[in-house]
Amino acid sequence: MTKTIRLTMAQALTRFMTRQMTVIGGEKLPIFGGVWAIFGHGNVAGIGEALYQVRDELPTYRAHNEQSMAHAAIAFGKASFRRRFMAATSSIGPGATNMVTAAALAHVNRLPLLLLPGDVFANRAPDPVLQQVESFGDGTVSANDAFRPVSRYFDRITRPEQIIPALQRAMQVLTDPAECGPVTLALCQDVQAEAFDYPEAFFAEKVWTPRRPRPDLDELAAAVAALKSAKKPVIIAGGGVLYSEATATLTAFAETRGIPVMETQAGKSSLPHDHRLNMGSVGVTGSSASNLLAEQADLVLAVGSRLQDFTTGSWALFKADDVKIVGLNTQIFDAAKHSALTLVADAKAGLEALDAGLGDWRSPDAWVATADSAKSDWLEAAKAVTDATNALPSDAQAIGAVHRARGSAATLVCASGGLPGELHKLWPAGAPGSYHLDYGFSTMGYEIAGGLGVKIAKPDHDVIVMLGDGSYMMANSEIATSVMLGRKLTIVVLDNRGFGCINRLQMATGGANFNNLLKDTLHEAMPQIDFAAHAAAMGAVARKVASIAELEHALKEAEADDRTSVLVMDTDPLISTDAGGHWWDVAVPEVSVRPTVNAARKDYERKRRMQHLVN
């Protein structure tokens, strides 16, 4: 007879979570690093009580904003190379919908996140319950249906026994290299508290290890043949290189085969920044070295990249008529983009198989010499912009100061605005994972919460968050959470008094300066925001600095602070790094009464003709 244990659905859920394990570096660890929770009527009595019972095995973290806590959970998973992850639970209504943006971020970036929003009553007795969203034409709809398009797996638990298959499916998705992404289990609040006789076997410990799919032999043969025929091959390293823990394999492959490597935002730090064959960032925010080689390349080996438009220069970067793309990816959806030769496999396993099949083939020495020259030129250009000084500093100069003060050993966190482009080009990343950007969804407000998630995953690391005043205003509450939890961050706020990045784009597309910088908005008085005072009010050590030299000094001082430090500096909203970069497809109006827009449209039409819609 099957042994059972009587638990509420919520108790079964939390007990199951404590039994899921992984092995990293020979050490067995809980695969769930904890649960972020903001309680409301939709989850406090059910999952709240269940979390209390397992608090010694599964820590519960209390945040100040649901979107931010989910961002912190995502950052934990990313910093853990998807080997461990976290959950986030909210009440129904606004608590739940606040997490939809975070779900989209995790979905776009292929990152694991378990979302546990409260839901309406399955028995419908008290309908409409507080915060319930009612559909006039569908009685089964709730606010949580908003999670469906941004979840890899979605389920609504309307009976307590449904949690058994739902959790089994959730774990498959969260740990699968191809399917990985957010899982939403909407928990009807009455069902959370209902009891069921669960099989004891459901709570048996299970150890999850990474799946490493090997390539199909026919696909491998085609990829090897394509590489052997290449005279100017390049490698694009995406996030999959890091998640596969394939950095050493990629380094050895590039060295043996003489192939220059360029990195996406997600893939940056795949190779040490000072490695001879690391050409740096690629695409719209690319280095001059990477983009010069990409324009000439006759073969692009895209490893673990989803080849988004910033990487490919809106598919106008690869200019050789006969260029071939080999898509090495665990997910066929990404591997097959733009008629690529698909090599569906784990990054590490795929590179090893390619290497074994290439024999003594190596790219021509002249191609490696071209890469050497291009990198030398780029390093000189990058040093010039990061070492410069202005009365009102640029983002690039701030990046130079942060690196001089804290070095490549720090983990750098950012997400949106102009900084990601400058950091992608200019930040000298150190160890794998030391560069942590959300630029798949480019979510304003991710930065501080993301830094907190990184610090929980890597408590002994120096974590530095860089963001603009726009992102700070979007979401800053987790400064208080970092102080509360004793997770020290160094946060650098660059205040250009508005949305400087999008203002520059507005100007570049012929638009008027309108509604981006604070001075160009509808206002009766200009806000005088004291970011340092605000951060100090949340418990941080805060400093306002007036120059690059002061910033560098303050960064060194902040190392001795006993809690989160926030450093604020005014910057110029109009300066960005001219060196490197590539055109990006941002549609300009076909008809306008403004000459600057019409001129921008002509330039746009000319550049759009460079796009390769099908290779």
Q: What is the pLDDT of residues 51-68, one digit of tens each?
A: 999 999 999 999 999 999
Degrees (nearest 5) of the Cα angle 68, 86, 483? 50
Strand-by-strand arrangement of the 463-468 sheet: 435-437, 411-414, 463-468, 490-495, 565-570, 541-545
**Which residue in 80, 14, 473 sits closest to 72, CA to CA?**
80
359: β partners: none
Those residues with Cβ within 8 angstroms of residue 170's Cβ, 6 or more apart along the chain or in another chain: 114, 153, 155, 183, 185
**Which residue in 133, 195, 130 sits closest to 159, CA to CA?**
195
pLDDT of residue 614 exceeding 70, the answer is no
Those residues with Cβ within 8 angstroms of residue 456's Cβ, 6 or more apart along the chain or in another chain: 33, 34, 61, 72, 76, 485, 487
* 482 touches 459 (CB < 8 A): no
- What tokens were used for 272? 């040490």
User: Could you count the other beta carbons within 10 Å of the beta carbon of residue 59?
Assistant: 16
- d(C-alpha 431, C-alpha 421), whole Å: 20
Average pLDDT over residues 599-603: 96
Give the E-state strand segments of 496-582 in sequence order: 541-545, 565-570
Q: pLDDT tens, 219-237?
A: 999 999 999 999 999 999 9
Q: pLDDT tens, 376-420?
A: 999 999 999 999 888 899 999 999 999 999 999 999 999 999 999
**Which residue in 90, 92, 81 sits closest to 122, CA to CA?**
92
- d(C-alpha 160, C-alpha 86), whole Å: 22
- d(C-alpha 281, C-alpha 478), whole Å: 30
* 510 touches 544 (CB < 8 A): no
Q: pLDDT tens, 479-510?
A: 999 999 999 999 999 999 999 999 999 999 99
The whole-model pTM stands at 0.97
Q: What HEC string does 381-399 produce?
A: HHHHHHHCCCCCCCHHHHH
Q: pLDDT tens, 523-570?
A: 999 999 999 999 999 999 999 999 999 999 999 999 999 999 999 999
Those residues with Cβ within 8 angstroms of residue 284's Cβ, 6 or more apart along the chain or in another chain: 309, 310, 313, 314, 421, 581, 582, 583, 584
B/e letters for 456-468, b = 16+ CB within 10 Å, e = fewer, are: bbbeebbbbbbbb
Average pLDDT over residues 276-286: 98
Those residues with Cβ within 8 angstroms of residue 487's Cβ, 6 or more apart along the chain or in another chain: 452, 455, 456, 459, 564
* 107 touches 181 (CB < 8 A): yes
Average pLDDT over residues 8-17: 98
**Which residue in 381, 70, 353 sits closest to 227, CA to CA?**
353
Q: What HEC string does 172-223 produce?
A: HHHHCCCCCCEEEEEEEHHHHCCEEEEEHHHHCCEEECCCCCCCCHHHHHHH
Phi then psi dihedrals of residue 142, to 5 deg: -135, 175
Q: pLDDT tens, 110-134?
A: 999 999 999 999 999 999 999 999 9
pLDDT value of residue 68: 98
Q: pLDDT tens, 282-294?
A: 999 999 999 999 9
Q: Which domains does the chain have, with CATH numbers?
A: 4-208 (3.40.50.970), 217-376 (3.40.50.1220), 388-570 (3.40.50.970)
- d(C-alpha 559, C-alpha 461), whole Å: 12
pLDDT of residue 615 exceeding 70, the answer is no
- d(C-alpha 219, C-alpha 505), whole Å: 41
Please give the mean pLDDT across all residues of the chain. Answer: 97
Phi then psi dihedrals of residue 183, to 5 deg: -120, 130
The Cα-based distances of 442 to 36, 119, 362, 437 in angstroms read 22, 29, 37, 8
Q: pLDDT tens, 565-583?
A: 999 999 999 999 989 999 9
- d(C-alpha 59, C-alpha 30), whole Å: 11
Average pLDDT over residues 26-43: 97
Average pLDDT over residues 96-121: 98
Degrees (nearest 5) of the Cα angle 277, 333, 181? 90
pLDDT of residue 584 exceeding 60, the answer is yes
Q: How far apart are the first and last CA of the chain?
A: 61
Q: What HEC string does 80-123 produce?
A: CCCCCEEEEEECCCHHHHCCHHHHHHHHHHCCCEEEEEEECCCC
* 446 touches 478 (CB < 8 A): no
* 538 touches 532 (CB < 8 A): no
